[in-house]
Structure 1
């Protein structure tokens, strides 16, 4: 074999090895009923998962993956692994992409585990199996429309649920700005809820987000001065990474 061929072969082998290294072993179960209705809500605070942009292909993550809510909104490609014990319940050749929407920390700690919606799980596993061995990797999220902001709280602070992120899918840092203020850094309260201790009632609101992928976007004039707690505001901007 010519030296140039050896180089090409070595590069190809390295690429194949790198591709395999992206997959990590874990396990998966299902919950929420055959229509997935029981998966609505959850520890990320997204509420109705259709309204917040996530739909039925969702999962609760074990503690090691959920990371105290930092993983909310992230996407994972999952396929059943027929080579491991329990693999007889696999549907070989199928994979499914799910969004992290809930905390399944009670499931198999400290192992990486996905408690998936039943419709998503049955895409890769046979119902009678109950629990299956899987391979998973984090993947880029694809979303319809822009980032959404659900504003809750009270007169003395804002609690904002940030939803429907594409790209890396999750929030790394967030800021809020009133009509009469500069940018105020927010802190994660729980799940995908970010908190500001400023009293911004009666001011128009803008937001800025750095995704966990490192992309920074400003969402200007998201909410008018007459916004009220409990309202959702949708933008036309979203993340690439």
Structure 2
């Protein structure tokens, strides 16, 4: 085989592998789902992703707690999933309608119960705990647990990413919400007017922190999604920003 033929062969092979990877990313995968009852139709607030009031964070009733396998130590917080009920003629709604959910919480395992009854979030089960309001859009409310299929989808967000400040002069923390694209933040950098770009560490969920005193400096943030794409929001917070405030920056497109 000549050099040119060999080059063409490897090019075709590379394109074939790439198309298979892209295909797998869009494939439906099997899991299960239950719902939790809340007076305001949302799932529990102050969850493991740190979003607090889910309506204020713009996620509301279309939120989900994920089992250990899906939660991935908090990295999946903010990611979007399309979920539909399947393969149950009694509980699934006709036509298998789907809902788009945002990962906002962790569904802890219960190893005192069987993974087939009660221990639905036990490792390595893939499970979604969603709000009652979202559940009834895909399945009958009487169902205790339903088989579902899911796939990762692009997060459609209104407005820019939001940066909520908390902490103190010696422990600066920012919660990042309303993230578009794949919704999954894997890296954050912060820059003050007196500093260069500094990487922040994940504290928990989508809370990121730094031990540098940034009080009195306008702040810029650089956010990297799991796709590898990065967006920088310059001077998103003015010099007189205060803890407890939220600012809006750029958005992934």
Interval containing the TM-score (normalised by the shorter chain): 0.7 to 0.9
- Which ranges of structure 2 fall in alignment gaps of 5 or more residues? 1-18, 110-119
Question: 1:35 pairs with 31, 34, 40, which one?
Answer: 40
Larger mean CA deviation between 66-75 and 102-111 belongs to: 102-111
**1:40: how far off?**
2.5
Q: Where do 1:80-91 residues align within 5 Å?
A: 80-82=85-87, 87-91=89-93
Kindly indicate whether residue 76 of structure 2 is the aligned counterpart of residue 71 of structure 1. yes
Question: 2:152 pairs with 138, 146, 151, which one?
Answer: 138
Aligned mates of 1:155, 1:31 — CA distance in 2: 38
Kindly indicate whether residue 248 of structure 2 is the aligned counterpart of residue 239 of structure 1. no
Aligned mates of 2:56, 2:221 — CA distance in 1: 20
SS in structure 2 of the partner of residue 89 of structure 1: coil
Alignment-derived partner of residue 233 in structure 2: 219
Alignment-derived partner of residue 135 in structure 2: 121
Alignment-derived partner of residue 10 in structure 2: none
**1:35: how far off?**
3.4
Aligned length: 222
TM-score (ref. length: structure 1) = 0.87
SS in structure 1 of the partner of residue 194 of structure 2: coil
TM-score (ref. length: structure 2) = 0.83
CA RMSD of aligned residues (A): 2.0
**1:38: how far off?**
4.4
Aligned mates of 1:102, 1:222 — CA distance in 2: 27
Kindly indicate whether residue 207 of structure 2 is the aligned counterpart of residue 202 of structure 1. no
Contact map agreement 2:42 2:132 (CA 8 A) in 1: no
Alignment-derived partner of residue 6 in structure 2: none
Alignment-derived partner of residue 206 in structure 2: 192
Question: 1:24 pairs with 20, 29, 53, which one?
Answer: 29
Aligned mates of 1:34, 1:89 — CA distance in 2: 23
Aligned mates of 1:39, 1:27 — CA distance in 2: 19
Q: Decide whether aligned partners of structure 1 residues 230 and 20 sit closer, same or farther in structure 2, where only a CA change above 3 A counts.
A: closer
Aligned mates of 1:142, 1:68 — CA distance in 2: 24
Contact map agreement 2:43 2:63 (CA 8 A) in 1: no
Question: 2:170 pairs with 135, 146, 156, which one?
Answer: 156
**1:34: how far off?**
5.9
Question: 1:170 pairs with 163, 184, 198, which one?
Answer: 184
Alignment-derived partner of residue 3 in structure 1: none
Contact map agreement 1:207 1:222 (CA 8 A) in 2: yes
Q: Decide whether aligned partners of structure 1 residues 32 and 234 sit closer, same or farther in structure 2, where only a CA change above 3 A counts.
A: farther
- Which ranges of structure 1 fall in alignment gaps of 5 or more residues? 1-13
